[in-house]
């Protein structure tokens, strides 16, 4: 990733609302709708939509459309893009890894 895309990502995350959206989606276990995100942040969906679009445009978010067989616009659900920067917000895997290695070592008679 060259400097221009990185700058766009930094600009997108430089806004408090977009950063809060990023944090919520980093914690989420499944994609969220605009209404769900707005509700979590205490904002109106119309306030959240342009932020989601800007984040999607710079590659931070992936969007999936869910038509559900109804008439009208499909429901959009947002999640962090697979290649979005992690910012170190995920829970560290080191305790789990250490526990697994200890069990393997014990079974092998090393410990």
Domain membership flag for residue 100: no
In a domain, 51, yes or no: yes
Q: On the CB side of 108, how many CA atoms lie within 13 Å of its CA?
A: 8
Average of per-residue pLDDT values in the chain? 87
Q: Specify if 91 maps to a domain.
A: no
Q: Give CA–CA dist 106/104, Å, rounded.
A: 5
CA–chain centroid gap for 25, Å, is 4
Give the count of domains, the chain: 1
Is it the case that residue 91 has pLDDT exceeding 80? no
Cβ proximity of 55 and 77 under 8 Å: no
DSSP 92: P
Mean local confidence (pLDDT), 39-63: 96
3-state secondary structure of 108: coil
Q: Which one is predicted more confidently, 53 or 72?
A: 53
76 is a domain residue: yes
- Quick check: is 90 in a domain? no
pTM for this model (two decimals): 0.72
Domain that holds residue 71: 3-82
**How far is the C-alpha of 47 from the C-alpha of 73, rounded, in Å?**
18
The yes-or-no verdict on residue 56 having pLDDT over 90 is: yes
pLDDT at 83: 86
Q: What's the pLDDT band for 8 if we cut at 50, 70, 90?
A: confident
Is residue 49 situated within a structural domain?
yes
* CATH code where residue 61 lies: 1.10.10.10
pLDDT of 90: 60
């Amino acid at each position: 990733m060259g400097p221009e895309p990185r700058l766009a990502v930094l600009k997108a995350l430089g806004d408090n609302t977009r950063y809060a959206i990023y944090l919520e989606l980093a914690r989420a276990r499944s994609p969220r709708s605009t209404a769900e995100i707005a509700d979590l942040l205490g904002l109106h969906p119309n306030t959240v939509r342009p932020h989601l679009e800007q984040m999607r445009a710079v590659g931070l978010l992936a969007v999936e459309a869910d038509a559900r067989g109804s008439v009208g616009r499909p429901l959009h659900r947002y999640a962090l893009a697979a290649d979005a920067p992690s910012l170190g917000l995920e829970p560290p895997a080191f305790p789990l890894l250490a526990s697994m290695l200890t069990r393997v070592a014990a079974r092998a008679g090393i410990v």
